[in-house]
Amino acid sequence: MQRILIMSVHGYVAAEPELGKPDTGGQVVYVLELANRFSRLGLKVDLVTRQFEDQPEFDIVNENFRVWRIPFGGKKFIRKEDMHDYLDQLITNFLAKVRTTGIRYDLVYSHYWDAGWAGQKIAEDLDIPHVHTPHSLGLWKKNNLGGDFDPVEMENIYRFEERIRKEYFVYQMCNYVIATTLPQIELLKNSYDVLDTHVTVIPPGMDENRFSPVMTEEASRLRERHCFLEHDVLALGRMAYNKGHDLLIKSLPTLFELVPQARLVAAIGSNESEQDKQGVEELKALAEALGVSDKIVWKLYVPDEDLADYYRCAKVFALSSRYEPFGMVAIEAMACGTPTVITVHGGLFDLINFGKQALLADPNRPIEYGTMLAFPLLYPEIAKRIGVEGAIFSRRNFGWTGIAQRIISVFEPLIRSKKLLAN
């Protein structure tokens, strides 16, 4: 049985992840879902992440899959932008464990630049293939934030220079890159010099068993249970600048002018993070200044078991990111039959048929974005068609088992080739 080492080192990675905590969102879901499906398909999987605070060394998920936490960088949370300083410790501590236990891996599959840089070093030391998924690219993020930050301040916060240098190393040295969107492919080839033969696009997936539409009567009961009204728009995600929650707030005057009975249900951030609390307070101040605060319901973090029902309760779902490598929450909302307005600054832009499966708008233009949010509320029959087509599109293209099989098809020739060389 092949044994795969998956690496995803930032955030709160666990068998039951605390979604909404700092750096703990779509990537964590992506990695855990893939690891689960790999284990179902017969692979042995160790998902290696960072051990900090009071976390145990292992979470045993099933006979083929465990989360393995390696201590490095001390006991406190470290934001992903500051992982640079501690990755050598991760490499040393992990390899010491591997040598002690005698575990043998067939391939490293890493996620994001931090785990990618460490994963490449580990793959070289173990003499096994390395496959990497970027999730987001430093150059893309830097270009999208460039107009909003002083360059010195931006570098101090995000450390782009070092990140981009390490990304280039990873993309050049690993055996294969799995991008999640077509724009990522173009940037990898044109700006990071990745060869055509070393990269492909495989989109993220979603749990097709959890996210599905419900009958109208059931949706009404769910709205009553979760205190939604008939014209509510839902926004959901981490409290992060790139998510564009402030841009969404700026679009609300247009939405409320067109649909006076509309509200925004803002499930943003976490009660447990002081940084998130501060960010939400800034959003509330912006809403007050724009005169829309009385039409916003602040929900903060949504428990994972209620997530699908929140999508089903909303009449529109809003993804207003300044940039978004993919947008997993949008795919989940679409799978639940909820008409969705997606940012044009992201990977879904090239996949969606505008007006059929979803609506698209630029959140930097508040009148445009607010108008698109209003459209499904103004035209229920069109909203119904978009909801049905969006659910069909999402479920047929982004089920996790099919995505896992496509990724395994990338692994297998690399593993075979390495074994042939070894013999």
Q: What is the pLDDT of residue 183?
A: 82
Give me 226's structure tokens.
């979760």
Q: What is the pLDDT of residue 419?
A: 80
CATH number corresponding to 216-398: 3.40.50.2000
Find the farthest-apart pair of alpha carbons in the chain and give their distance in angstroms, rounded.
71
Q: What is the pLDDT of residue 271?
A: 67
Q: What is the pLDDT of residue 147?
A: 64
**pLDDT (average), residues 389-407:** 90
**pLDDT (average), residues 9-18:** 94
Q: Can you tell me which residue has the tokens 């940037």? A: 187
Q: What is the pLDDT of residues 39-59, one digit of tens each?
A: 999 999 999 999 999 999 999
CB 30 within 8 A of CB 328: yes
Which of 239-243, 260-264, 279-283 is predicted with the least confidence, judged by mean pLDDT?
239-243
Q: What is the pLDDT of residues 159-169, one digit of tens each?
A: 999 999 999 99
List of residues 6+ apart from 390 with CB closer than 8 A: 334, 335, 337, 338, 339, 340, 357, 358
Which of 15-24, 283-292, 337-346 is predicted with the least confidence, judged by mean pLDDT?
15-24
H-type alpha helices, 102-137: 112-126
How far is the C-alpha of 54 from the C-alpha of 229, rounded, in Å? Answer: 40
Q: What is the pLDDT of residue 330?
A: 93
Count Cβ atoms within 10 A of the Cβ of residue 123 and give its class: 0-12 exposed, 13-18 middle, 19 or more buried. Answer: buried
**pLDDT (average), residues 140-151:** 78
Map out the domains of the chain as residue ranges: 3-205+400-422, 216-398
- The answer to whether the 3-205+400-422 and 216-398 domains have the same CATH topology is yes
CA angle in degrees (0–180, nearest 5) for 157-85-136: 55
Query: Is residue 242 pLDDT above 90, yes or no?
Result: no
Tell me which DSSP letter residue 123 carries.
Answer: H
Tell me which fold the domain 3-205+400-422 belongs to: Rossmann fold (3.40.50)
Which of 112-121, 163-172, 196-205, 226-235 is predicted with the least confidence, judged by mean pLDDT?
196-205
Give me 115's structure tokens.
């785990």
Across 186-211, b (16+ Cβ under 10 Å) vs e yields ebbbebbebeeeebebbbbbbbbeeb
Q: What is the pLDDT of residue 146?
A: 65
More confident: 324 or 45: 45
More confident: 328 or 289: 289
Percentage of the chain modeled with pLDDT above 90: 76
